[in-house]
Amino acid sequence: PEIAQLLGISEGTSKSQLSRARQLLAQRLGLAAPKLYHS
């Protein structure tokens, strides 16, 4: 609720955006991981 209040959006929107951001981060880290291990 605090994040939603700070951003001036609903709690549902805040949770939705956080979930989407986590998904994108996981995808990008997954794509970057093979590069880390190919030396």
DSSP string, 1-39: -HHHHHHTS-HHHHHHHHHHHHHHHHHHHHHHHHHHH--
Q: Is the pTM of this model over 0.85?
A: no
pLDDT at 23 over 80: yes
Question: Which residues span the domain enclosing 23?
Answer: 2-37
| Tally of domains within the chain | 1
Asked if residues 9 and 20 have their Cβ atoms less than 8 Å apart, the reply is no
C-alpha gyration radius of the chain: 15
Whole-angstrom Cα distance, residue 18 to residue 37?
29
The answer to whether 11 touches 4, Cβ cutoff 8 Å, is: yes
Residue 37 has what pLDDT? 60
**For residue 19, pLDDT beyond 90:** yes
